[in-house]
Amino acid sequence: MPLKGVGRTYGKKITVPSGQWSTLRVTAAGPLFTVYFNSEQLFQVEDATFTGAGKVGVWTKADSVTYFDNLSVTPK
């Protein structure tokens, strides 16, 4: 499925448990990205916007209190 927005954003609404650690995992195979939250697959999307090597970052909404730990990138 191609990359499509929901309003002004892209993603899926889910409930994130408060006060505990959760796991976010993204796999990429060419332009196909698969997103998992606590081992549950949320969605797959194709995005061929950037085809070369690049950088990885994380983002949350401005009113969130979020901690990130053990960020890793593993090439295949």
Assess contact for 46 and 31: CB atoms under 8 A.
yes
CA dihedral (45, 50, 54, 59) in degrees, to 10, reads -50
* 28 CB-near residues (< 8 Å, 6+ apart): 34
Instruction: Output the pTM of the full model.
Output: 0.77
Distance from C-alpha of 43 to C-alpha of 1, rounded to nearest angstrom: 9
> Could you read off the pLDDT of 26-62 as tens digits, one per residue?
998 888 888 899 999 988 888 888 888 888 888 887 7
**Cα separation, 38 vs 61, whole angstroms:** 19
Residue with structure tokens 């609404």? 13
